[in-house]
Structure 1
Amino acid sequence: MMWFVARRLLHAVPLLFCVVVLNFVLIAATPGDPVTILVGDFPAPPGYVEQVKREFGLDQPIYVQLMRYLGHVLTGDLGYSFANRQPVSTLILGRLAATLELTLTALLLASLLGIALGMLAARWRGSWLDSGVQGIASTGYSIPDFWLGQLLILVFSIWLGWLPSQGNMSVRGAPEGFAGFLDHLRYLLLPALALSFRYLALIARITRAAMLEVLSADFILAARSRGASETSVMITHALRNAAAPVITVIGYNLGFILAGSALIETVFGWPGIGRLLFDSISRRDYPVMMAILLMVSVTVVLANLATDILHRAIDPRVGDR
């Protein structure tokens, strides 16, 4: 297992290097000038503009800026935010907890409900329940996240007035104790549901397909002939043997759900990294953009590594393929 993990990590190093270089080149080639953010909208003397460029290294050729950026990344320095006037690492760490709370809640919700719906659809294949699950899956996979978020705000916040539509806490401050926890859940529910719906639909479809394949196997018939209960057959025998593709889709979507939180955090005013990325794009705050893209890339690589390790634990033949 250690050699298997080491090989995966060795494969990840050149991949991350290519991602860092590609992100830098693409962002540097985008239209716009970050100096306008640093200087401001008012007319500035040319000498002052040149001084700002020298201060932040923007007067150097692109390849020199790239080499300098790679050196800083290797030492853990993610740069300095043009728009927020503070180190990028400090800025991201201040938003990280909110994003992890939203994305992990959404992924947990999508995983639990998606697996449950997929199992029910496979158990009663061809029934109205199966048709309903497939309909929900097709709809959820087709609806854009940000549009679903706006619909949820319109229904539950504006029309019904049940849940808040913006932020992650009341402007008056959260109550203490369990009441504060419940109040925070009211702010978390809508964005987590909007972010999870697409992945819930995908997990439900994959679970249903994998379960149908396993339920037709001979060992399932043997388990039923031995008098095993239907719950034991579905969970102990069928779901365990159908877990590999389900784990794959959950693990591979961990990084994508982190990247996809940008629009949801913007729609709901959630103070996380996704909202920070959206604001940084509009402000041309290149160091923040590159740092967030690097963080998402690392998350995808680590999620894929964790998925491969789980596959190896389930099936030891994975590492020999």
Structure 2
Amino acid sequence: MAVQTGAIARSAVLGRLLQAVGLVTAMAIVNFFLLRLAPGDAAQVMAGEAGAATPEYLAALRAQFGLDQPLWAQLGKYLWHLAQLDLGYSFRQGMPVLELIVQRLPATLLLMGASIGFAVIAGAALGVLAAARAGRWIDTVISSAALLCFATPLFWIGLMLVLVFSVWLDWLPVGGMFTVESGLTGWRHALDVARHLVLPAVTLGLFYMAVYVRLMRASMIEMRRQDFVRTAVAKGAPGSRVLTRHVLRNALLPLVTMVGVQASSVIGGAVVVETVFSWPGLGRTAFDALYQRDYNLLLGILLCSSVVVIAVNGIVDLVYARLDPRIRLPR
């Protein structure tokens, strides 16, 4: 029996891995063609900057970048290198794309993790509080604040937070990931990074916190009306146990689902936040790559973003199964 269970588990893991590889490959192909639809290329940008946009110079640059080959040949070459984990070379940055992504990815993951953690914890707590006081003044205040955060653009929130906490109060740094000239190490360096992280993470997380507040409030109210909750109360179960084991645990399921759905939009929001706060992550790098027509770097960042989204959704599936044992992961 144990051997059969282990074989089923290995088969499920293998199936999920094959599905992830297929999704990543499909996304790579779609991104490749979407970028080729954009006007201009890296050769035109570099020739324009050099002031030598002659037909001969453009032809030489396109041959150097491989842009003179047919589109199907470029795609085949790209997929072949991708299968070898070779994301190409960024001629604008002067280094391999994979090396550049490895340098910038930790900063983006740190920003994403902090913002999602803040949004989930604050959103769930405020949603539970609003549901417990539904129809009262505290419910109105929380719902109104959530609606305000939802309707306010990210860049404006970021600028206002900088104005208040960096310019007026001088509590937090304006931008960057750490103080370059400080030379801090160890825990002091980690604390310095945390201080720089507060404003970007709160800016990115406020929008999603507003969504989770509304979702959690509605889910809590709905769960409290379910028959199994009334049955637990009628049997004399303690109120705290009913709240945590029956109401809250089931109310978290829609929120966890929403986290997985919004993983891609968090990466998109990181582009704006990283630009406002000069955060050295993939979002800001993607914006620069798009402006400079650095297709190899942009394709690598888009592919990395797809992998991150798939990984987040895999984690969401595990959390989902943990919250509700009746749910089985797809095999």
TM over 0.5: yes
Task: Check if 1:60 corresponds to 2:38.
Answer: no
**Partner Cα distance (2:319, 2:68) in 1:** 48
Q: Which runs of 5+ in 1 are unaligned?
A: none
User: Does the 8 Å contact 1:174/1:184 carry over to 2?
Assistant: no
User: Does the 8 Å contact 1:252/1:307 carry over to 2?
Assistant: no
**Partner Cα distance (2:154, 2:75) in 1:** 34
**Partner Cα distance (2:252, 2:203) in 1:** 25
**Partner Cα distance (1:174, 1:227) in 2:** 60
Match of 1:69 among 78, 81, 106: 78
User: Does the 8 Å contact 2:178/2:196 carry over to 1?
Assistant: yes
Sort the Cα spacing of 1:320 and 1:59 in 2 relative to 1 into closer, same or farther, 3 A. Answer: closer
Match of 1:254 among 263, 271, 275: 263
Task: Using the aligned pairs only, state the percent identity.
Answer: 39
What is the Cα deviation at residue 318 of structure 1? 5.1
Equivalent position amino acid for 1:20 in 2: A
User: Does the 8 Å contact 1:255/1:303 carry over to 2?
Assistant: no
Q: CA RMSD in A?
A: 2.4
Sort the Cα spacing of 1:255 and 1:174 in 2 relative to 1 into closer, same or farther, 3 A. Answer: farther
Equivalent position amino acid for 1:163 in 2: L
Task: Check if 1:112 corresponds to 2:121.
Answer: yes
Structure 2 residue aligned with 1:196: 205
Structure 2 residue aligned with 1:231: 240
Task: Check if 1:298 corresponds to 2:307.
Answer: yes
Sort the Cα spacing of 1:200 and 1:174 in 2 relative to 1 into closer, same or farther, 3 A. Answer: farther
Task: Check if 1:35 corresponds to 2:26.
Answer: no
What is the Cα deviation at residue 37 of structure 1? 4.2
User: Does the 8 Å contact 1:95/1:273 carry over to 2?
Assistant: yes
Equivalent position amino acid for 1:192 in 2: A
**Partner Cα distance (1:216, 1:115) in 2:** 19
What is the Cα deviation at residue 174 of structure 1? 4.7
Structure 2 residue aligned with 1:25: 33
Structure 1 residue aligned with 2:297: 288
Equivalent position amino acid for 1:129 in 2: I
Sort the Cα spacing of 1:17 and 1:177 in 2 relative to 1 into closer, same or farther, 3 A. Answer: closer
In the comparison of the two structures, how many residue pairs are matched?
321
Q: TM-score, normalised by structure 2?
A: 0.88
Match of 1:98 among 107, 116, 132: 107
Q: SS state of the match for residue 38, structure 2?
A: coil
User: Does the 8 Å contact 1:16/1:298 carry over to 2?
Assistant: yes
Q: SS state of the match for residue 182, structure 2?
A: coil
Equivalent position amino acid for 1:300 in 2: V
**Partner Cα distance (2:246, 2:104) in 1:** 42
Sort the Cα spacing of 1:19 and 1:112 in 2 relative to 1 into closer, same or farther, 3 A. Answer: same
Structure 1 residue aligned with 2:167: 158
Q: SS state of the match for residue 107, structure 2?
A: helix
